[in-house]
Amino acid sequence: MSHRDLRHLEAFLDMLIAERGVSKNTFHAYRRDLIDYKNYLNNTGFDILEATHTVLSDYLVDLNLRGMTRPTIARRISALRQFYKFLFIERIRADNPATMLEGPRYLRSAPSVMTVAQVDRLLSLAREKIGDAKLSSREQLRAARLYALLETLYATGMRVSELVSLPKSAATTRESFIAIRGKGGRERLAPLTNRAKTALRDFRGRLEALNLVLAQGSFLFPADSSSGHLTRQAFARELKQLASIAGLSAEHVHPHALRHAFASHLLQNGADLRVVQELLGHADIATTQIYTHVLDERMQAMVRDLHPLSN
C-alpha cells in the first residue's frame, strides 16, 4: 500500500472518530474493509485515486466469488460510498465513483419476513398473558414487560440493543415519537404508536407498584445484570418461548425478525425506501437495499393492476 493511499485511509478513519463518533467495532470493521479493497486494487494495478465505477463494481463481483456473505458485502458498499464521498468533499478526488454503486443481483435476496398476521398473533398472545389470573404479580409484570418490548420494537423498528437500553423517561413521553441513540452515538427519532405507549406505561406502573429496587434505576427495562438493563439474550429467550406457544417456528422468530417485519411492512404499504433507511438508523442506503424485493413486488402489482394493457 502506497504512503499516499494509506494517508487517505487514515484521514477518513480519523474523521469517523472525530466527527461521527463511531464505535470501536465500526471503526475496525471499516478499516478491515478498506484495507481489503486497497489490496484488491494493488493486485489489479489501480490505486484509490484512479479507481473508476467499473473497478468498484468488479471488486464487488470479486467479493461474491470469494464467498463473502450478503451483510459483509453490504457493509463493504457502505464503507466505499462513505470513503469516496469523503475524498470528494475534501477535494482529494474530483469525482465520486461510488455514488451509483450497487451490489450484484444476489444482494437483493432478503431475510425471511414475518407476516402481519404472525406479528399480530404474537402481540395478542403476549397481551392476553398479562391478564392471566393464575399468574403471580411478578409473573404478570414479566408478561407486561414482554408485551411492552414487542409493541415498542414493532412500532419503531429499532435495534434490540437500542430497545433494551432505553431510558425510563421513554415510558412517560407525550410525544408520538422517541429519541433513540444508535450506532456511533447518532440520534434519530422513531415513531411510537398509542398501543406501544400504553404498553410501556402499564409495565412501568406495575413495576413501580411492586416497589422494587430495580425501579429506581435509569433504564426503562431494568434488570439485575452487569449493564443494569434487560439483556438481548434474555429478551430473545422469552420471545422464542412465546413463538412456540403461538405455533410459530422459534428458529425464525427473534428480536431482529421484528425489525425486518417493521421495515418490510412499511414498504409494502407504500413507504419510501429513504424514509425506512432513516427510521432504521442505517448510515447508508445500501444496507437498506436488502428490502428492495418488497419494492419490486409492489411495482409489479401496480403494473398488473393499473396498466391498461396488463390483461
Enumerate the active-site residues. 159, 183, 256, 259, 282, 291
Q: Which residues of 39-64 are buried (b: 16+ CB within 10 A; e: fewer)?
A: ebbeeeebebeebeeebbbebbeebb
SS3 167: strand
Cell of 263: 421495515
Measuring CA to CA, which residue among 227, 204, 219, 225 is closest to residue 163? 219
- The answer to whether the CB of 269 falls within 8 A of the CB of 297 is no
Which parts of the chain are beta strand (E)? 177-181, 187-191
Question: What cell does 289 get?
Answer: 437495499
**Euclidean distance between the first and the last CA atom of the chain, given in angstroms as a whole number:** 59
**Pick from 228, 238, 78, 220: which is nearest to 158 by CA?**
220
DSSP codes, 73-125: HHHHHHHHHHHHHHHHHTTSSSS-TTTT----GGGG-------HHHHHHHHHH
CB 167 within 8 A of CB 218: yes
∠ CA 229-71-25 to the nearest 5 degrees?
50
CB under 8 A, 24+ apart: contacts of 31-38: 33/75, 33/76, 33/79, 33/80, 34/9, 34/79, 34/80, 34/83, 35/1, 35/9, 36/76, 37/76, 37/79, 37/80, 38/1, 38/5, 38/9
DSSP state at residue 218: S
